[in-house]
Amino acid sequence: FVNGKICKDPKVVKPEDFFFQGLNKPGSLSNPLGSNVTQVNVNQIPGLNTLGISLARIDFAPYGLNPPHTHPRATEILVVLEGTLLVGFVTSNPAMNMKNRLFTKVLNPGDVFVFPQGLIHFQFNNGKTNAVAIASLSSQNPGVITIANAVFGSDPPISPAVLTKAFQVDNNVIKYLQSQFWWDNNYP
């Protein structure tokens, strides 16, 4: 039992434990986010256990968004294959008298951008055609926390009193946000 996964007996390991098929096929973009993340991690390829790597294909419709999220166990490096993406990450918990800083860039095919481990980041297709990117992650099980889903879509919900104070907005804004259906664009 290593890294949260049971290691397979080497006597019963087979080639399929190191194989994933279909990353050449676009994911469905028929969700309100207009994006689809096809994960390839230890859950899809058991042979990745303990190797410290994984990847994902991210498909975007025009103006599709991979919403602000974080990977608690991995740094991500992204390469754009098709289209144009606006990408960025935000620093967190800066020193006193400093603000969180946004690092952002427009990426074209062949461009690469790094998102440091644990920092909130996003990718947005700011073009009129579909876009495709490949992300490599420094963990066989990087995890993903989509910020809006976690904060406003929890079950049971976080107390509106807590969120009203945290976000410094009217209670009706919080109730509205909590009443929305929060989409998940990450597919194993």
| Binding site members for Mn(2+) | 69, 71, 76, 121
Say whether 51 sits in a helix, a strand or coil. coil
Looking at residue 43, its amino acid is N
Residues 6+ apart with CB under 8 A from 166: none
Burial class (CB in 10 A: 0-12, 13-18, 19+), 60: buried
Is the Cβ–Cβ distance between 145 and 72 less than 8 Å?
A: yes
Is the Cβ–Cβ distance between 137 and 54 less than 8 Å?
A: yes
**16/44 Cα distance (integer angstroms):** 10
Provide the annotated binding site.
66, 69, 71, 76, 121
Instruction: End-to-end CA distance of the chain: give it in Å, rounded.
Output: 22
Provide the annotated binding site for oxalate.
66, 71, 76
